[in-house]
Structure 1
């Protein structure tokens, strides 16, 4: 409430929670009801947390007609009120997560799933430190064909990708200045930005932090913010995995290390190779990777990104300082030894992705799982086990994966399967143009 008292100009509030696809579901509420909202929460149907990508109910879901479509209780997260600087009217956003009316966490809520994994770390006396890197395209979607928007500075369009180009960044300097100011207002720790290989493609890194829930919150909020700010400039920003057939797609790479209670990095043994705990964590991530692919590549378009020689991994392997690997150990000082997980696309639900990676790593550590030898050279030329090659194969791998059921509550697994199977069925009715139109803004 203190934030609202400091911002009397705010007259409306948006309350929102992330559904299984990471889409914000919520309500608009007058600010004068804020105290009641903070003290009592609000209600959504449980079924809202696993709508399909069109926002439709899941057919035959037990959460809908069979149970009478009952309400869950939505309570504020630790984040509190945040500004929504991309809107014209001063507005506050209050992030929520879902509980049962008796106060039990709702197991179908993706943020609760991540909290459950974090609780496992806490019980083991460990603290994960997490950072994400997000790629996105700025796109003029006003015509029939997607293209790079004109620079607000020059009015010109750049037709090709410019890796690490200051000229490409400066062409959208006003946009990035507004975006960084908004990140500071929302307490999103945006760090370095670079131009990427696709036309109008950029990447922004979010800083490491010893709070995986906040890291996932920041990632979810950042995607919402980038899209909103872009629209205020008259173009779109998209985290869609592969909006252009001829150019690399959007990834969401996740870096993580694990600390003991007294701050020691368990991946550090003073050498470049890293500790046994690092290799156990890598092994856990590799073991869970086939079944987790549906979380890292959750949509039909996601699989257009996961193809050979397109700067996205296809093989299940790991390596030191090698960006063709699914899991890369970046060069660093021993104290900063960490794992970079490179499979996820920009179109993921960050709560489920962070939970899947951290959960798999902890399973590997608890099981003292031996890692295969790291490979050298081009991953696409290695004889590696491959990720599921299409959406249907990934759905079935997820359905039968024991590691997924170890990390996630069965209720969430079943809901997610129903959601993805329904989407798979109805996506077959869409043309390529309709598919792009669907995913461009929603993911």
Structure 2
């Protein structure tokens, strides 16, 4: 049985903030945070008395920040800057997210917010609202998504001309080997991990097991699954910020960039999802390793939507460097049981734990949008009883063909999303239009840069 909590989509009330400051009178540097479509936390630094006012009345912020690109540049092409008069909307705090931020000092805290129109309507470009809308659709069918987010990241030394794997704080050793599941690597970074767990406990983030991943300096930790997918995405956003902050305290840089090194493993965001029924029981639970027919239909929906949602799972130019055969990053719309070479894996486990692991998204994806795309696709598959076909047995990379291969170029993925009726139904027509505009302009700016590789390849040879 799964205990289903109240939705975290609720707006926090003034009493929550008053109780927090009563318990933490020393705190007077508080970050108001919102996360726009590019997944970068942005916001304002407030004093305690200003926070109380936000919890009582909200805070005005320009709506244009909803469509700034990954670099923080206004995307004027959306029409939401000058044509809109750069008009204010209002942000309101998300319940349960006002917590200390210990890596910033003993007087620091933070809270998450969502954007609303001035009449109180949820803003349809805010990723939190988009995910909440998808969850509500599942709820109307008597289903509650139970979700967990796994994130891979690198700890880097950025003091040289190029980033490199960080030296372990205990021995000063810089690994050059893969050492997947290596315990010496975990021991060497223990001071960092101790602070990471302590900060997560302070913020109420359900951090569990961690491993040394498939490259020097790469690690993965699990956030515990919960029957509140919006809170799971909130936790992922807070966790990424926390990891980066703790790393800086230890003289390192943490990155969730999808592919920091051409010759090393990329970093993924693996999304684990099941569905609880109206009684809180796992609707996918089955003695069969493939799960229930409902799970098969959910997988059918995810397979059908994978290509259309690739620009959500791989939002940046660098994202597409991660997808290579035999790399543990999937390249085709495939599914299987206890098989890490496919996009959609039903893990081994007891019948009551039956769920699906969505393995496509990079660690650079926006957690709200990635979960919204996955859950919306599952809802599509379950509502229409889509058959996923037989599971892949053996090497999923060899099973890839022209019909199942996913878009592997940024421009193609943006174009496919732009023209997807299904994703417009899941994420919202206006959101898809503006997201593709932002990413299209971002791509044009990226491609307009002349890099060192241009000179290496073409200066003398062209």
TM-score, normalising length from structure 2?
0.92
Shift of 1:272: 2.1
Q: In 2, distance between residues paired with 1:114 and 1:65? A: 28
Q: Corresponding residue for 1:217?
A: 234
Classify the secondary structure of the residue corresponding to 2:96. coil
Shift of 1:12: 1.5
Q: Corresponding residue for 2:192?
A: 175
More displaced stretch, 310-319 vs 89-98? 89-98
Q: 139, 142, 145: which one pairs with 2:162?
A: 145
Q: In 2, distance between residues paired with 1:76 and 1:286? A: 35
Shift of 1:431: 5.4
Q: Corresponding residue for 2:7?
A: none
Q: Corresponding residue for 2:100?
A: 83
Q: 397, 410, 430: which one pairs with 2:429?
A: 410
Shift of 1:89: 5.0
- Mapped pair 1:199 → 2:216: yes
- Mapped pair 1:366 → 2:383: yes
Distance change (3 Å), C-alpha of 1:221 and 1:249:
same
Q: Is the 8 A contact 2:38 2:70 kept in 1?
A: yes
Q: In 2, distance between residues paired with 1:91 and 1:156? A: 33
Q: Corresponding residue for 1:29?
A: 46
Q: Is the 8 A contact 1:133 1:254 kept in 2?
A: yes
Q: Is the 8 A contact 1:292 1:404 kept in 2?
A: yes
Superposed counterparts of 1:33-432, under 5 Å: 33-384=50-401, 385-430=404-449
Q: Corresponding residue for 1:437?
A: none
Q: Is the 8 A contact 2:210 2:219 kept in 1?
A: yes
Shift of 1:35: 1.7
Q: In 1, distance between residues paired with 2:357 and 2:414? A: 24
Q: Is the 8 A contact 1:162 1:196 kept in 2?
A: yes
Q: In 1, distance between residues paired with 2:387 and 2:451? A: 43
Q: In 1, distance between residues paired with 2:148 and 2:133? A: 19
Structure 2 unaligned blocks of 5 or more: 1-16, 454-462
Q: CA RMSD in A?
A: 1.4
Q: In 1, distance between residues paired with 2:432 and 2:392? A: 33
More displaced stretch, 244-253 vs 368-377? 368-377
Shift of 1:33: 2.2
Q: Is the 8 A contact 1:137 1:239 kept in 2?
A: yes
Q: Which runs of 4+ in 1 moved over 6 A?
A: none
Could you list the per-position Cα deviations for residues 312-334 of structure 1 after superposition, in whole angstroms to 9, with x for gaps in the alignment?
A: 00011101100000000101111
Distance change (3 Å), C-alpha of 1:263 and 1:433:
farther
Shift of 1:432: 5.7
Shift of 1:29: 1.1
Number of residues of Structure 1 aligned to a counterpart in Structure 2: 435
Q: Is the 8 A contact 2:286 2:354 kept in 1?
A: no
Classify the secondary structure of the residue corresponding to 1:60. helix
Classify the secondary structure of the residue corresponding to 1:301. helix
More displaced stretch, 294-303 vs 397-406? 397-406
Shift of 1:43: 1.3
Shift of 1:430: 3.4
Structure 1 unaligned blocks of 5 or more: 435-443
Q: In 2, distance between residues paired with 1:67 and 1:73? A: 15
Q: In 1, distance between residues paired with 2:363 and 2:214? A: 15
TM-score, normalising length from structure 1?
0.96
Q: In 2, distance between residues paired with 1:223 and 1:306? A: 22
Could you list the per-position Cα deviations for residues 66-123 of structure 1 after superposition, in whole angstroms to 9, with x for gaps in the alignment?
A: 1211111100001241111111352110210000011100000000000000111111
Classify the secondary structure of the residue corresponding to 2:159. coil
Shift of 1:178: 0.1
Q: Is the 8 A contact 2:282 2:353 kept in 1?
A: yes
Could you list the per-position Cα deviations for residues 336-384 of structure 1 after superposition, in whole angstroms to 9, with x for gaps in the alignment?
A: 1100000000001000000000110011000111111111111111144
Q: Corresponding residue for 2:11?
A: none
Shift of 1:173: 0.1
Shift of 1:274: 1.3
More displaced stretch, 42-51 vs 260-269? 260-269
Q: In 1, distance between residues paired with 2:238 and 2:265? A: 24
Q: In 1, distance between residues paired with 2:178 and 2:66? A: 37
